[in-house]
């Protein structure tokens, strides 16, 4: 396992400074996201990464094309229907996107569980809690 780290360079103090990390040839946006990946991988769980959900489809407003709005959670565990988002510090658009996702994907009882993990301790505890559900 090769781990490379790059510091994010930004002059805008409002932006969240995360450190990109490479594990197993995959570049993660933050160390928290890479920690979740290694915990899920080491627990032997089958998961998908970066599955995008379209919250608002593209449309035309007064002749101008408006791009779709999407939310891309970090991990999806299909066997348990769980979406995992790792957020140390949420940006201002995240709560709105999450609320819109929950509204758009209300499915009468078949909605995925959305879990937001904010630190490595929470990740390790949550993955340990999931292991018995997969047995």
Length reported for the chain: 135
Amino acid 13: pLDDT: 53
Amino acid 124: pLDDT: 94
* Inter-axis angle of helices 31-42 and 120-134, nearest 10: 20
**What are the two backbone dihedrals, phi and then psi, of residue 47, each rounded to the nearest 5 degrees?**
-145, 165
Q: What is the pLDDT of residues 30-81, one digit of tens each?
A: 899 999 999 999 999 999 999 999 999 999 999 999 999 999 999 999 999 9
- The burial of 95, by beta-carbon neighbours within 10 Å (0-12 exposed, 13-18 middle, 19 or more buried), is given as exposed
Tokens of 39: 């915990």
Amino acid 5: pLDDT: 53
Q: What is the pLDDT of residues 81-134, one digit of tens each?
A: 999 999 877 778 888 888 998 888 887 778 889 999 999 999 999 999 998 877
Amino acid 111: pLDDT: 87
Domain 31-134 coded CATH 3.40.960: yes
Amino acid 78: pLDDT: 93
Amino acid 92: pLDDT: 80
Split at pLDDT 50, 70, 90, the class of 6 is low
Amino acid 132: pLDDT: 80
pLDDT reading at 2 higher than 70: no
């Amino acid at each position: 396992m090769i781990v490379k780290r790059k510091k994010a360079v930004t002059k805008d103090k409002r932006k969240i400074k995360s450190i990109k990390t490479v594990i197993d040839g995959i570049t993660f946006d933050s160390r928290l996201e890479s920690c979740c990946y290694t915990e899920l991988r080491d627990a032997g769980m089958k998961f998908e990464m970066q599955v995008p959900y379209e919250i608002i489809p593209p449309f035309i407003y007064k002749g101008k094309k408006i791009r779709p709005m999407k939310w891309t959670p970090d991990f999806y565990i299909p066997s348990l229907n769980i979406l995992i988002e790792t957020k140390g510090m949420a940006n201002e658009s995240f709560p709105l996107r999450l609320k819109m996702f929950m509204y758009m994907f209300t499915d009468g009882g078949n909605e995925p569980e959305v879990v937001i993990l904010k630190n490595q301790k929470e990740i390790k505890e949550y993955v340990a809690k999931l292991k018995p559900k997969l047995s």
